[in-house]
Structure 1
Amino acid sequence: VFVELPVQNNEDWETHEPVINRNGDFFSVNIASDDHPMEVDHHIAFVILQYEKGYRVVYFDEGEKPEVKFYQDEPVIAVYAYCNQHGLWCIEA
């Protein structure tokens, strides 16, 4: 079952913004705020990387730093981050 979530765009942007870093063919994504809570009641639950031909989803556990590092084998179109308190956040790649 696919559920469409509204993308947020408000004053909480600075603490939820997915940040994309490229270094040649290597790619990393983290959340702009290094101090975003990663507790049971408030955390970044997952990051979605959107490609032309599909998606990659990376889930995070409480206490884990919400960061993704990988070899970029195809162009990333957008990155989404989901906070269990404040919803879905997106940035175009």
Structure 2
Amino acid sequence: MRGGACGQRSLTCHLLRSVASVAVFSPWAGGLGGRLGDAAASAVALGVWLGSVLLAESMPRAGRRGPAEVLLRRLSYRQTPLATPGAPVRR
């Protein structure tokens, strides 16, 4: 990844890998965890990781940040109404 781009897609990739792993390996979803051997499970995990890396590399070329980072930024930096004089301060 390019310099200065840290944090623009890392949360999205982490969440993507976590959700994909649960969907593939858990018994109540894909159920492959109990049927695959160690080598096959490692290959699937490597494929999920590689897919997330390719997605992360395609985002800056499209001029986009990760959707999880955009949501987190909006929630973190949202504008709050200014306090009116004499109004109680909420904490």
For the criterion TM > 0.5, the same-fold answer is no
- Structure with bigger gyration radius: 2
Measured against the shorter chain, the TM-score band is: under 0.3
Which TM-score applies when normalising by structure 2?
A: 0.24
More helix by share: 2
